Amino acid sequence: MLFGKGSITVKKFRIALGALAALLLVAGATAQTQSNPVPAGTGGTPLPRFGLGVGAGTLGAGIQAATAVARRTNIRGGFNYFPYNLSGTGNGLSYSGKLRLESAELLVDEYLAGPLHISAGALVYNGFQATGSVNVPGGQTFTLNGTTYFSEATNPVTGTGAVTVRKAAPEVLFGLGNLLPRGHRHFGVNFDLGVVFQGSPSALLNLNGSTCVTPLGGCSAISANSTVQANIAAEQNKINKDLKPFGFYPVLRITFGSKF
């Protein structure tokens, strides 16, 4: 759950959102004070101080806040979160796990023409991760790197797996819309399309228990069997190879917001 154990608590989320709002308000006020006594927005009106929006996309569900620092420039930050439980079987291994998208981002939006803008910044915190566990009931078969093994009945095979990425990553977006309309409108819609350069995810696979070469014998502990260990490493390398395309994580998002 979003506010359950091991994730973001309600208190922490409110503190983070409050800190972001305060930061953006201070940045906007400072920029406006340093530019002109009455900074000019579109139509000669003062620059909007603060905008808040909610949205959803490939980074998860999120909340964004923004402030205007120039006629064509906004500073925007946000938090994104999405959990997903998964389970299934593969190569004889039964698995269950959790995928968590969790991030905090900070962007500078530069408006090129009307609502068209380019945004550059970073995920200042990238909490994307997947964790899970696997097991093979005693006597059943499973495959590692093309080799079939039996899980020992008295010490069946169990294990864990995890996929992690770098904790910070650059981000470039193109978009349409503005959380801070420069006219008299208060409500706005913003659409983002771009990429996070998070680097290739890293997978780690660990198995315990004992494997057998036949249903009746030839059993040994995985920790003492170099051949099995080599096949585990080979499977891990295959997973890492399959994950390489996610080093460029796509961003597709729509946000609905209002300025205040």
Which pLDDT score, from 0 to 100, does residue 3 have?
A: 33
Domain-embedded: residue 3 = no
Domain-embedded: residue 4 = no
Residue type, 220: S
Q: Are 97 and 87 in contact (CB under 8 A)?
A: yes
Domain-embedded: residue 1 = no
Domain-embedded: residue 166 = yes
Domain-embedded: residue 2 = no
Which pLDDT score, from 0 to 100, does residue 88 have?
A: 83
- 47 token code pair: 């620059």
- 72 token code pair: 């064509």
Give the CATH number, domain containing residue 41.
2.40.160.170
Domain-embedded: residue 184 = yes
The Cα–Cα gap between 35 and 215 comes to 79
Q: Which domain holds residue 138?
A: 10-259
- Cα-based torsion angle of the residue sequence 16, 22, 23, 27 in order, rounded to the nearest 10 degrees: 160
Domain-embedded: residue 239 = yes
pLDDT, averaged across the chain = 85
Domain-embedded: residue 26 = yes
Q: Are 158 and 134 in contact (CB under 8 A)?
A: yes
The Cα–Cα gap between 121 and 118 comes to 10
Ranges of residues in the chain with a pLDDT under 70 are: 1-45
- 98 token code pair: 């959790």
- The number of folded domains in the chain is 1
Which pLDDT score, from 0 to 100, does residue 21 have?
A: 53
Residue pLDDT, tens place only, 55-88: 999 999 999 999 999 989 999 999 999 999 988 8
The Cα–Cα gap between 221 and 228 comes to 9
Nearest by Cα to 161 from 244, 94, 223, 101 = 94
